[in-house]
Amino acid sequence: MKKVNRSLFQIKIIYVVTTFFLVILSIYTFNQIKKLIDSSNWVNHTTLVTQSLHKISSAVFEAETNKRGYLLTGNKLLLDRKEAALADLSVEQHSLAGLLKDNKAQYENLKSLNLAIQNKVVSINNINVQSPIPFINPLIKRNISEGSAAMDSVMAQIDKMYGVETGLLQVRTEKYTQLSSVTPLYIIVLFFGALVILLASYSKIHTALFHSQNLRNELIIQNVEKVEKAATLIIANEELGFQNKEKEQRAAELIIANKELEFQNKEKEQKAAELIVANKELAFQNKEKEQRATELIIANKELAFQNKEKEQRAAELIIANKELEFQNKEKEQRAAELIIANKELAFQNKEKEQRAAELIIANKELAFQNKEKEQRAAELVIANKELVSENEIKEQRATELTKVNEELRVFTQIASHDLQEPLRKIQMFASRILDSDYGSLSEKGKIHFEIIEDAATRMRTLIEDLITYSQTNNEERVFELADLNQIVEEVKADLEDTISEKLATVETTNLGSARIIPFQFRQLFNNLISNALKFSNVEIPSQIKIDSEVKKGNELAIVALLPEKDYCHISVSDNGIGFADEYSEKIFEVFQRLHGKEKYKGTGIGLAIVKKIVENHNGVIKASSDLGKGARFDIYLPS
């Protein structure tokens, strides 16, 4: 152990010495490399100063040359080139001042150079010739002489500074060469020194490991002896454990026997409970039949309420009668279901008579209740006949209204044609002017022409929207079971360009089938989605969500809905600019606009058409919104 400790101590000393040696060499090498980089930077600095002096000399020479050329030729283009050369000269003077700010001697030389250049610039700008002449007059000769003298002064100062920089360049280059040759030498010494120290460390570590292996082998032999003794004790413990397991198995067998006895007792209790559950099922079925009779009464009340609404909406009587016939068929189906249910109940009663004699009394009570329900059904048949008589009177009124609607339809066609024909001619002749004479118009005329085109387009859109609005009530209403998902997809295809332009997404959730007028609902979805795209927030992509669910009227908290009737609730929401909640009713009125036509195009009829379509389906529409938080439209249709 002492030898191992001594070897470890020696290894530690070697590592400490190695680390110290490497740190010293690394610091010295770092300093050498830093000096090498500084020397390289100074060489580059001298080169930049030399280049700047050359550029100043060239700029002065170019300005002088252009001035002399102007004096000889009179070409004013040479004066522009002279001014450009003087501008370059000013830039180079500023650049050279930045390079020499740390060198006091050269900075003093630079001041002398700037003074000489200033005199030269004055000489260059001093042009006393009033007009170019083919011979050289005395003024030109004197000007050229003064320019030469100033140029000689500038060149002498440049040569002086250039000589200083050349000397600096030579000294800095020699220093850079010396550092470049010495630095690799230090790196090689560092590498071989570290290699020698690592080899010595490896030798010491190998010896220490050999001694450590011998000690480990001795410990392994001692551990084997301890393991053999432990194995003998483990075998003895296993024998004791085996005996304990046998005793536990016997105890478990006794527990299983007790559980079997308990299980048999539970089976007997379950059989008794099944008889009780059978009685409860019979009572539950009787309650269900009572609920069905109650539903028939509620359905008749709803029918009476619908008839009152039909009196208020004479134009909707034909569709209302069809709905009544459909509801009567449903009631007949429900009556048939009651008969089938009674038969099933009789069959179930026979089976239950075999199980318990006590159920006979319950069956007699059920038969008595069925008779009462049959009497109620007979009363409902009489009430339906009375409603049919009332419907015949309403059909006569509907026939009269149909004639009036036909006359209104003919008037609408004539009006739409007479109104659109002048617009078509305006747009046709405007198109001809645009193709042939638009270029000859003045700017003000073009603006007036564009205003005319825009007004004609808006007038045509307004007429088409008015025709659509007036035809919403006049068209034949054929209700069909239609897939709402398919209608939304068709509308998305029609608006594909606008949706792509707005980077919008239209998401649908839980949309199923509904009994609607398909082409009117296509117009409804088109108007609502177009409205959401038009009033989208330009800062974020538009998101339009369409959802649907079926709920009872009392779950929707809308006063106009019947509490016990099922309604299809369709919601259309977006994340656009929204509107103030105080306009939630006003926006459904014709020609109502919340924004100016310059900012958002439109006629103010789209949402009025949406409301009219919902009313044609005997439904209700509500709007809700907050400014900047999007809008939501909720539609409730009788299911």
Helix (H), strand (E), coil (C) string for 463-474: HHHHHHHHHHHH
**533-561 confidence digits (pLDDT tens):** 888 888 888 899 999 988 888 887 777 78
* Stretch 230-234: mean pLDDT: 76
pLDDT at 327 over 60: yes
Q: What angle do CA 100, 103, 107 make, to 5 degrees?
A: 60
- Which of helix, strand or coil describes residue 575? coil
Q: Residue holding tokens 């000859």? A: 440
Q: Residue holding tokens 């280049």? A: 51
pLDDT score recorded for residue 330 = 81
- The CA distance from 263 to 449, in Å, is 98
Report the 10 Å Cβ neighbour count for 449: 16
* CA 181 centroid distance within chain: 62
Q: How confident is the model at residue 186 (pLDDT cuts 50, 70, 90)?
A: low
Which segments within 231-316 are labelled E, that is strand?
A: none
- The CA distance from 305 to 520, in Å, is 25
Question: Do the beta carbons of residue 211 and residue 4 sit within 8 Å?
Answer: yes
- The CA distance from 365 to 367, in Å, is 5
What H or E segment, with its residue span, contains residue 480?
strand 480-483
Question: Do the beta carbons of residue 67 and residue 82 sit within 8 Å?
Answer: yes
Which of 209, 224, 249 terminates a domain? The answer is 209
- The CA distance from 289 to 341, in Å, is 8
Portion of the chain with pLDDT greater than 70, in percent: 75
pLDDT at 134 over 50: no
* Stretch 171-176: mean pLDDT: 71
- The CA distance from 316 to 419, in Å, is 29
CB burial string 59-86: b at 16+ within 10 A, e below: bbebbbebbbbbbbeeeeebeebbeebb
- The CA distance from 389 to 372, in Å, is 26
User: Residue 318 domain-assigned?
Assistant: no
Residue 18's closest CA among 203, 195, 204? 195
- Which of helix, strand or coil describes residue 213? helix
Q: Which of 138-142, 342-346, 587-591 has the highest mean pLDDT?
A: 342-346
pLDDT at 131 over 50: no
Question: Do the beta carbons of residue 319 and residue 515 sit within 8 Å?
Answer: no
Sequence letter at residue 485: N
Compute the chain's Rg from CA coordinates. Answer: 53
pLDDT at 139 over 70: no
Q: Between 77-99 and 2-73, two packed helices, what is the crossing angle to 10 degrees?
A: 150
DSSP state, residue 549: E
pLDDT score recorded for residue 348 = 80
Any idea which of 4-13, 142-151, 374-383, 511-520 has the lowest mean pLDDT? 142-151
Residue 113's closest CA among 93, 95, 98, 99? 93
User: Residue 606 domain-assigned?
Assistant: yes
Please state, rounded to an integer, the average pLDDT across all residues of the chain.
76
pLDDT score recorded for residue 370 = 82
DSSP state, residue 629: S
131 versus 454: the higher-pLDDT residue is 454
* CA 165 centroid distance within chain: 63
Report the 10 Å Cβ neighbour count for 389: 9
User: Residue 407 domain-assigned?
Assistant: no
pLDDT score recorded for residue 36 = 74
Give Cβ neighbours of residue 5 (< 8 Å, ≥ 6 apart).
Answer: none
485 versus 336: the higher-pLDDT residue is 485
173 versus 567: the higher-pLDDT residue is 567
Q: Between 359-436 and 138-312, two packed helices, what is the crossing angle to 10 degrees?
A: 140
Length of the chain (residues): 639
Q: How confident is the model at residue 133 (pLDDT cuts 50, 70, 90)?
A: very low
Class of residue 175 by CB neighbours under 10 A (exposed 0-12, middle 13-18, buried 19+): middle
Q: Tell me, letter by letter, the H, E, C secondary structure of 112-158.
A: HHHHHHHHHHHHHHCCCCCCCCCCCCHHHHHHHHHHHHHHHHHHHHH
**67-110 confidence digits (pLDDT tens):** 888 888 888 888 888 888 889 888 888 888 888 888 888 888 88
Q: How confident is the model at residue 2 (pLDDT cuts 50, 70, 90)?
A: low
The token duo for 71 is 């004096």
Residue 504's closest CA among 575, 607, 610, 601? 575
pLDDT at 226 over 50: yes
Q: What is the CATH number of the domain that holds 80?
A: 1.20.120.1730
pLDDT at 321 over 80: no
Q: What is the CATH number of the domain that holds 523?
A: 3.30.565.10
Portion of the chain with pLDDT greater than 90, in percent: 2
For β-strands 505-509 and 620-625, DSSP reports them as unpaired
pLDDT at 634 over 80: yes
Question: Do the beta carbons of residue 139 and residue 129 sit within 8 Å?
Answer: yes
Give Cβ neighbours of residue 128 (< 8 Å, ≥ 6 apart).
Answer: 139, 143
Give the C-alpha distances (Å, rounded to integers) separating 311 from 304, 307, 321, 621. 11, 6, 12, 21
Backbone dihedral angles phi then psi of residue 439, each to the nearest 5 degrees: -65, -25
Which of 187, 209, 231 terminates a domain? The answer is 209
Torsion of CA 411, 415, 421, 426, to 10 degrees: -170
User: Residue 34 domain-assigned?
Assistant: yes
- Which of helix, strand or coil describes residue 424? helix
Overall number of domains in the chain: 2
pLDDT score recorded for residue 35 = 79
Report the 10 Å Cβ neighbour count for 151: 19
pLDDT score recorded for residue 461 = 63
User: Residue 217 domain-assigned?
Assistant: no
pLDDT at 565 over 50: yes
**624-633 confidence digits (pLDDT tens):** 888 878 889 9
**570-613 confidence digits (pLDDT tens):** 999 998 888 877 777 777 776 555 654 555 565 667 788 888 88
pLDDT score recorded for residue 64 = 84
7 versus 46: the higher-pLDDT residue is 46
Residue 140's closest CA among 200, 72, 89, 201? 72
Backbone dihedral angles phi then psi of residue 130, each to the nearest 5 degrees: -85, -30
Question: Do the beta carbons of residue 586 and residue 605 sit within 8 Å?
Answer: no
User: Residue 354 domain-assigned?
Assistant: no
3-state helix, strand, coil in the chain (%, to 5): 80, 5, 15
Which of 209, 229, 260 terminates a domain? The answer is 209
User: Residue 82 domain-assigned?
Assistant: yes
- The CA distance from 429 to 456, in Å, is 12
User: Residue 440 domain-assigned?
Assistant: no
Class of residue 570 by CB neighbours under 10 A (exposed 0-12, middle 13-18, buried 19+): buried
Q: How confident is the model at residue 423 (pLDDT cuts 50, 70, 90)?
A: low
Sequence letter at residue 602: G
Domain residues for the domain of 195 are 2-209
